[in-house]
């Protein structure tokens, strides 16, 4: 039988990162490709005790159907922490627990985007989000990312030139894949432009807690007096990603529709993972955990940068991140990093080529993304050494 | 800001069952509305030990990102059990773990249905599925359900009269909401018609294990020599629904696209719930558990039927189920059970009115669905007594 795939999905490719992961399964291969948090930081022992406690003491709550909006005390905790840490507490907003921030992005798109509608994205941007937009037939318009965030003039032109712009998607803090942080001035400008053109902003902030210095960058959502910002967050990077606990905060009318969409999608996020996440977050000091995570990632990024300075050809430019998980490199010279990624596999090192993050994934890119959060110090250094060998061959 | 909701979602209403649940939160109210499995059957103690063990001994596996297809040993277990118990083992098929069977249905729809395409459904049918189809702009065509399954002549007419039929959705065994079981002859006819018209069948079988007598009814998927049946299943009714573990088995080409769609939706089903489900299923005898569940539900359905015979007016007709969770009643006399459901709340009893399950939910229906799996014997009897009071008033 020839399955006639829907228009929205027929050209969808799986993330190239998934393909790269196949090579990474070989233990001799060093992967700097993923975006996995450091597994040594997972509070597994505490979660073991909590899972045991809930299943023993609250078996029905842990195992019966739950409500679509999410476990109420967890929603309450999320609202309180957003108010306390991010100054996000707009009246008239609501918060839904989702199965990872990815689900919030997908559901928002399902609820808002008709085929052919425009979504403005930073370019390069997170492929999980851009693929969600593509999967509903969105017309993606890219706005280049500078070291201080997206090009605001370009953004205004995109808002002027395109009809039916449904939202602007941005990761202002420690952006994926570039690691850049949007300046305060630009955050204000992006908000002002959204207001001027009557367009929603989807602010995705999975990395905001991971500032190396501890400095917090004001979210665009914290400036949202008009109710024009949807804010997506996650516990994947500060607790554990396998639990799949994220959230979306947005004007209540939008959350109501997203609840309907989530009910159709997975009914609700599993109860056990919500319960143990909530208990861990309220019985422990998350901010103290985050201090440790920050120190770990600051150290690992420094290890990677030192190795890059030692092993990479001088022509390779890169952006020093202030936090997050990634370092963005540019080899220049018209080098095609997609082709290079295949050569790198021969040297047992994998990375994500820059084209993955572009609106047009067939663009030839000299850029690539490196991750420093997953590998050990030794593997980071050895991985960068191997990459240096690959780069030296093409730049010689 | 006036959010312009997408065409596919703008007319979507939340399930009426959700609204009814609000009343059910009052402890004085008896709910026969939900579809919750009996909580006393959840193997909570065993799952507590397993959750503790995995988080202690396999912290990284339990908490790090997993792969979209699902935990490989769980997929393997599902394939083996389907082959052993249901004779489902077609070469060229593949199986994906999904976050509840609901997600498999939603993703299949996303992958196949363009706006305006037809999906043929039993009428009445499961609202979670019909809403998933609606949410992608499907044109729903209903085929009446008889006591021995859907009307096959009507089905053929629907296949002839409608263009772009993407699939036939059916719950052949202990159907939701009618509790009916399709005859073997009709199963063969439905398969033959799907083959003749080149249309996929989506066979949803969440209740197949819950036969009161232990008899198994051959699935349509077990007859699938051509690769034209997608089969959706769940551990919600035999293990625990809050874990959100379901699966979809279908031709590999279709599963490949569904993997892409799931990656965008929730990346993967949480690892911890997959791990403890797999360990429970392989370290215990699920078939023995199911014997207990069957006995429990056979007893509860009998309790409900006895109460109905004692308290309901003689005019109320109902279908005696051979398994599953539901009894379908018809009051006749042009009675509107949606209006009646509001009066029933005053008597502190809730049920789901029949219009909920119709293609056109504004149809006035004299039917309603009762659930016997959730409430205790005492509450079932008292609930039916209260319903008898309500029914006697309108039928007097």
Does A132 contact B at CB distance below 8 Å?
A: yes
Q: What is the CATH number of domain B7-42+288-395?
A: 3.90.1150.10
Q: What are phi and psi of B348, to 5 degrees?
A: 60, 45
ipTM above 0.90, yes or no: yes
pLDDT score of B90 = 96
CB pairs under 8 A between A and B: 249
Q: What residues of chain A score a pLDDT lower than 70?
A: 15-18
* pLDDT per residue as tens, chain B (396 positions): 888 999 999 988 876 666 777 777 788 999 999 889 999 999 999 999 999 999 999 999 999 999 999 999 999 999 999 999 999 999 999 999 999 999 999 999 999 999 999 999 999 999 999 999 999 999 999 999 999 999 999 999 999 999 999 999 999 999 999 999 999 999 999 999 999 999 999 999 999 999 999 999 999 999 999 999 999 999 999 999 999 999 999 999 999 999 999 999 999 999 999 999 999 999 999 999 999 999 999 999 999 999 999 999 999 999 999 999 999 999 999 999 999 999 999 999 999 999 999 999 999 999 999 999 999 999 999 999 999 999 999 997
Q: Do domains A7-42+288-395 and A64-283 have the same CATH topology?
A: no
The predicted model scores a pTM of 0.97
CB proximity list for B133: less than 8 A, separation 6 or greater = B109, B113, B119, B121, B140, B169
CB < 8 Å from A in window 134-153 of B: 135-136
- Minimal Cα–Cα distance from A211 to chain B, Å? 21
pLDDT score of B198 = 97
Measured CA distances, A46 to A103, B47, B305 (Å) = 26, 17, 48
CB < 8 Å from B in window 244-283 of A: 244, 251, 253-254, 257, 259-261, 263-273
pLDDT score of B225 = 97
The pLDDT tens digits for B179-230 are 999 999 999 999 999 999 999 999 999 999 999 999 999 999 999 999 999 9
CB proximity list for B339: less than 8 A, separation 6 or greater = none
Locate the DSSP E strands across chain B.
Answer: 30-31, 93-98, 118-123, 139-146, 149-150, 165-170, 200-204, 229-234, 246-251, 317-318, 326-330, 349-350, 352-353, 367-371
* Residue B14 token pair: 């939340």
- Smallest CA-to-CA distance from B110 within A320, A266, A370 is with A266
For residue B226, list chain A residues with Cβ-Cβ distance below 8 A: 1
pLDDT score of B324 = 97
Give the domain ranges of chain A.
Answer: 7-42+288-395, 64-283
CB proximity list for B288: less than 8 A, separation 6 or greater = none
pLDDT score of B188 = 98
For residue A65, list chain B residues with Cβ-Cβ distance below 8 A: 34, 36, 236, 241-242
Q: What is the CATH number of domain A64-283?
A: 3.40.640.10
| CATH 3.40.640.10 applies to domain B66-283 | yes
User: Which of B99, B112, B242 lies closest to A6 in CB terms?
Assistant: B112
């Amino acid at each position: 039988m020839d399955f006639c795939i829907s228009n929205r999905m027929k050209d969808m490719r799986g993330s190239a990162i998934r393909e790269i992961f196949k090579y990474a399964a070989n233990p001799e291969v060093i992967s700097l490709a993923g975006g996995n948090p450091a597994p040594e930081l997972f509070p597994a022992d505490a979660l073991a005790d909590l899972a045991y406690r809930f299943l023993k003491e609250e078996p029905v709550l842990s195992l019966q159907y739950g409500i679509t909006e999410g476990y109420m005390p967890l929603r309450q905790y999320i609202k309180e922490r957003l108010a306390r840490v991010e100054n996000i507490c707009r009246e008239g907003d609501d918060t839904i627990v989702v199965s990872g921030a990815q689900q919030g992005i997908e559901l928002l798109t399902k609820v808002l985007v008709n085929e052919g509608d425009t979504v403005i994205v930073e370019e390069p941007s997170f492929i999980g989000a851009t693929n969600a937009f593509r999967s509903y037939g969105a017309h993606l318009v890219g706005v280049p990312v500078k070291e201080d965030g997206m090009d605001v003039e370009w953004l205004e032109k995109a808002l002027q030139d395109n009809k039916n712009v449904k939202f602007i998607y941005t990761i202002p803090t420690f952006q994926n894949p570039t690691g850049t942080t949007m300046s305060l001035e630009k955050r204000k400008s992006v908000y002002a432009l959204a207001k001027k053109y009557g367009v929603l902003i989807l602010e995705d902030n999975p990395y905001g807690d991971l500032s190396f210095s501890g400095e917090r960058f004001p979210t665009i959502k914290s400036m949202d007096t008009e109710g024009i910002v949807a804010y997506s967050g996650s516990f994947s990077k500060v607790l554990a990603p396998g639990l799949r606990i994220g959230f979306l905060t947005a004007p209540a009318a939008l959350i109501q529709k997203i609840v309907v969409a989530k009910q159709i999608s997975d009914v609700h996020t599993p109860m056990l993972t919500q319960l143990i996440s909530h208990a861990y977050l309220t019985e422990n000091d998350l901010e103290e955990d985050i201090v440790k995570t920050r120190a770990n990632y600051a150290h690992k990024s420094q290890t990677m940068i030192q190795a890059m300075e030692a092993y990479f050809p001088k022509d390779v430019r890169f952006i020093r991140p202030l936090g997050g998980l990634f370092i963005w490199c540019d080899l220049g010279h018209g080098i095609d990093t997609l082709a290079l990624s295949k050569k790198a596999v021969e040297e047992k090192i994998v990375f994500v080529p820059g084209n993955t993050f572009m609106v047009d994934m067939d663009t030839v890119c000299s850029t690539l993304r490196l991750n420093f959060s997953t590998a050990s110090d030794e593997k980071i250094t050895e991985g960068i050494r191997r990459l240096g060998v690959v780069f030296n061959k093409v730049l010689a």
